[in-house]
Structure 1
Amino acid sequence: MRFPIYISLLFLMGSCKSKEDNRYPEYKTLTESVYASILIQPDSSYQAYASVAGILERNFVVEGDLVLKNQILLQINNSVPQVTIENAKLSLQLAQQNYTGEAAVLNGIRDEMASANLRYKNDSIVYKRQENLWKQKIGSKADYDAKKLNYEVSQKNLQQLKNSYEQTKNQLQTSIKQANNSLKTSIISNKDFTIQSKINGKVYALYKEPGEIITTMEPLVSVGSASVFVIEMLVDEVDIVKIALNQSVVITLDAYKGMVFNGKVSKIYPQKDERNQTFKVEARFEKQPEVLYPGLSGEANIIISKKENVLTIPKYYLIDGTKVETDQGIVTIKTGVENMEFIEIIEGITDSTLLHKPKY
């Protein structure tokens, strides 16, 4: 008698399991999203590099310091540029003194021009007087020629001094401009030996200690916003065309277990990373957690679409992606949006169609 009872129990268990595997399509609010891994980074973060090689002389800040825009962060040894700046200043001062100082070169030429001008006027008067006398046949031809020659020499000498004055003036002005440009160039070159902050923010990392060799290929310091953070998401290339600005983002962070944060897509980078076949997308928190650090990781789901009251079935009821098993056999269906668990049914079955779970 015990054997038939055992068979009956197995039959009942099989029947219960079969009923559990059958279900009807249901109307739900279906949200379609794209998954992305994330990293938290400070806003406007960057790594600063030196534009010259040398030896690190001093760090003016430590990790965690708040800094202002244009504040000097570190100094590279620059004794030679300092000497160059001093020499450029001296050259500029000398050029300015030659042009405008008490012993200016132009002063001497101006004095010579004044004397030459008086001589020219005097010789001009004497010549005109002698010319009038000669017209009246008074005096000798030799006296007339001598006065004329003196007049012409004085005129020519005055013109030469005027030309010399203008030429010297232009040369002195050019010397001032050249000395000023040399000073500016030296100052700019000197700035190459200091690293300044580009933003108001926080120092997150220093990569070199005083005395170490500096190259132009290695970062020296990492700076970013002290209070505003962005969410960097890596989106697979097959999903990037679905992403648009201002789409909602649901975020979970490993550091905040059990908590969910919301954000909005703020930037889409157009260049694909060939190493991992992904695109970088940035989002901003709608309400940022109180404490964040660069490099915090987590996951995000970018909401692509949200449809109310749509007919859905669990995705594991699909056969070959386009079919389901019903009481009438295998039926081809047309699907729409989907998420990780459910998929929209557009046509092929209704909410009164009993579905059978595929046996595989």
Structure 2
Amino acid sequence: MKQTALYISLLSIIITGCRNKTETTSPVIAPITDAVFASGHVEAADQFTLAAFSDGFLQDTWIKENDNVQAGQILFTLDNTTSSIEQAAAAENLRLASQNASDNSPTLMSLRAELANAQQKLQNDSVQYWRMKRLYETNTVSAVEFEGALLAYENDKNTVQSITENIASAKLTLQQDLIHSQSQYKTSVAGNNYFILKSPGNHKIYRIEKNDGELIRKGEAIALLGHPDSLGIVLMVDETGITKVRTGHKVLIELNTHPEQIYTGIITTIYPYFDEEKQSYKVEASFEKRPSNIIAGTLLQANIIVAQDDQAMLIPRAYLTADKKVIIRRNLNADTIAIKTGIISTDWVEVKEGLTLQDELIKAN
């Protein structure tokens, strides 16, 4: 019995020693915020890249960076010597095709002259035919003479019909040639216009990519344009955070050009695709109050506030197990229970259900 008592006494000492080393805490009421980090930059609203429609040397730049331009205003011209020659040739072909398709066309006038001669011959041979027919009926002329007049008359009719059909066919062919020439001319004009780059709307010139004299390839960027007065925020959010982000969420923004100063914005657009190159999702936001002297392209870092509670019941993150349970001490006994959590940050966990402020929590090993 003495040995048993000594064993119990030693065990009591060991348990007491361990208990003294066990870390405990209780829930507290405090504010908590859940935020998603994002990097990004400032970008003009409706920003787009103006690209070349054709290959060519940049001949003239009619604007400079920071200029506001109007719809239809000429911004750049490329060397279009070859295209101008082609347009001049197409214009001459169109002139000739128009002349050939007119009523005074040499081709049609020649056919009409042939038709007039054939019609005159038909009229003469018609008179001769009817005269010979009457004489034949009275046996005044032979059958051979009558048949000769009939044959001439029939040939004349066929000739008139053939020339009439040739005129109609020639008109159709000449009209088709005219349409084709018009199409070629319009194509050449359009092609020539490809060497003149105009503004598609009222924009601001944010960046010019090329200098006069440089060879520009078709599709190559020449300038960056955008809304003249509106600057927005483009954010890149990773896969772990995008599911939490919603339009209307508040954004805290720190610009690289304005360190230590926080600006606020609102999420306006979440694009429904994953950018393979940047390995993130694109999100847009707008400033609640735009900073002064801000420049498009400025890099920034942001925290998107996805959840917030000013009166939350909180426990340290270290007291939550991997399966979202906690160990509590009740009536000197340790018990593991499941709790309902809300916001989980790096250091704190919001408790929605399962604990009271009086509960004593034991830190999970």
TM (norm. structure 2) is 0.81
Is residue 345 from structure 1 mapped to residue 351 from structure 2 by the alignment?
yes
Q: Deviation string for 1:259-312 (max 9, x for gaps)?
A: 4322123131402334x5311112233443444311222232333344575422
Is residue 312 from structure 1 mapped to residue 314 from structure 2 by the alignment?
yes
Q: Deviation string for 1:24-57 (max 9, x for gaps)?
A: 4234565433221121111222223324333221
User: RMSD value over aligned CA atoms?
Assistant: 3.0
Residues 32 and 350, structure 2, Cα contact 8 Å, conserved in 1: yes
Q: Which residue of 2 aligns with 1:96?
A: 98
In the TM superposition, residue 83 of structure 1 has moved relative to its aligned partner by 0.8
Report the secondary structure of 2:59's partner residue: strand
In the TM superposition, residue 166 of structure 1 has moved relative to its aligned partner by 1.4
Q: Which residue of 1 aligns with 2:287?
A: 285
- Which piece of structure 1 moves more, 334-343 or 92-101? 334-343
Equivalences for residues 213-224 of structure 1 within 5 A? 213-216=215-218, 218-224=220-226
- Which piece of structure 1 moves more, 327-336 or 236-245? 327-336
State the distance in 2 between where 1:82 and 1:331 align: 85
State the distance in 1 between where 2:122 and 2:288 align: 87
Q: Deviation string for 1:109-128 (max 9, x for gaps)?
A: 22332332233234224313
In the TM superposition, residue 88 of structure 1 has moved relative to its aligned partner by 0.5
Change (3 A) 1:271 1:123: farther
State the distance in 2 between where 1:269 and 1:38 align: 17
- Which piece of structure 1 moves more, 83-92 or 127-136? 127-136
Q: Which residue of 2 aligns with 1:7?
A: none
Q: Which residue of 2 aligns with 1:149?
A: 151
State the distance in 2 between where 1:250 and 1:42 align: 19
Letter in 2 for 1:126: Q
Residues 313 and 352, structure 2, Cα contact 8 Å, conserved in 1: yes
State the distance in 2 between where 1:359 and 1:127 align: 127
Report the secondary structure of 1:164's partner residue: helix
Residues 72 and 200, structure 2, Cα contact 8 Å, conserved in 1: yes
Equivalences for residues 89-128 of structure 1 within 5 A? 89-100=91-102, 102-128=104-130
Q: Which residue of 2 aligns with 1:202?
A: 204
Report the secondary structure of 1:171's partner residue: helix
Residues 329 and 360, structure 2, Cα contact 8 Å, conserved in 1: yes
1:159 is aligned, of 158, 161, 166, to: 161
Residues 317 and 324, structure 1, Cα contact 8 Å, conserved in 2: yes
- Which piece of structure 1 moves more, 144-153 or 242-251? 242-251
Residues 245 and 268, structure 1, Cα contact 8 Å, conserved in 2: no
Residues 337 and 344, structure 1, Cα contact 8 Å, conserved in 2: yes
In the TM superposition, residue 155 of structure 1 has moved relative to its aligned partner by 0.9
State the distance in 2 between where 1:246 and 1:128 align: 99
Equivalences for residues 236-315 of structure 1 within 5 A? 236-256=238-258, 257-274=260-277, 276-306=278-308, 309-315=311-317
Residues 203 and 223, structure 1, Cα contact 8 Å, conserved in 2: yes
Report the secondary structure of 1:345's partner residue: strand
In the TM superposition, residue 165 of structure 1 has moved relative to its aligned partner by 0.4
Equivalences for residues 55-94 of structure 1 within 5 A? 55-94=57-96
Q: Which residue of 2 aligns with 1:336?
A: 342
In the TM superposition, residue 213 of structure 1 has moved relative to its aligned partner by 2.2
Change (3 A) 1:316 1:295: farther
Change (3 A) 1:245 1:126: farther
Report the secondary structure of 1:44's partner residue: coil
State the distance in 2 between where 1:233 and 1:203 align: 22
In the TM superposition, residue 339 of structure 1 has moved relative to its aligned partner by 4.2
State the distance in 2 between where 1:216 and 1:157 align: 57
> Structure 1 regions of 5+ residues with no counterpart?
1-17
Equivalences for residues 226-241 of structure 1 within 5 A? 226-241=228-243
Change (3 A) 1:317 1:296: farther
State the distance in 1 between where 2:183 and 2:129 align: 51
Residues 267 and 283, structure 1, Cα contact 8 Å, conserved in 2: no
Report the secondary structure of 2:170's partner residue: helix
Residues 98 and 105, structure 1, Cα contact 8 Å, conserved in 2: yes
Report the secondary structure of 1:47's partner residue: strand
Report the secondary structure of 1:116's partner residue: helix
> Structure 2 regions of 5+ residues with no counterpart?
1-19
TM (norm. structure 1) is 0.82
- Which piece of structure 1 moves more, 100-109 or 162-171? 100-109
In the TM superposition, residue 210 of structure 1 has moved relative to its aligned partner by 1.4
Letter in 2 for 1:137: N
State the distance in 2 between where 1:302 and 1:289 align: 18
